[in-house]
Amino acid sequence: MSIDIHILKNGQAEKLLYSINESSYSILEPIFEKYKNKTGLYIDPYGTLKLSSGLEILISLISEKAEKNQTELPEYKKILSILNEAQSNNYGIIFVGE
């Protein structure tokens, strides 16, 4: 099981930025649940989610969790780096599950 994160361009997955493996997903899944509760959008290991905007909420949730849980900080930092870069450079991202 993995979720690939790609740049979203013209509605299609472009350059692969990162792959979330099963152990990483177990760390991130509670954050994805909170994101779903706030937005109605779910980052699903078996589905696809395109985000051309609204990254602020996901960035905020991950940042909040990272501050509270230093042991899983490297995983949070990697995802935050990808999301912040996408937001700064005005490109969307797509999460592609298996």
pLDDT of residue 75: 83
**4 and 19 Cβ atoms separated by less than 8 Å:** yes
Q: From CA 47, how far away is CA 36, in angstroms rounded?
A: 14
Residues 6+ apart with CB under 8 A from 85: none
Q: Return the SS3 of 50.
A: strand
The sign one gets for the Cα dihedral 29, 59, 69, 19 is: positive
pTM, 2 dp: 0.89
Read off the pLDDT of residues 16-68 as tens digits, 9 standing for 90 and up: 999 999 999 998 999 999 999 999 999 999 999 999 888 999 999 999 988 88
Domains of the chain: 2-97 (3.40.1760.20)
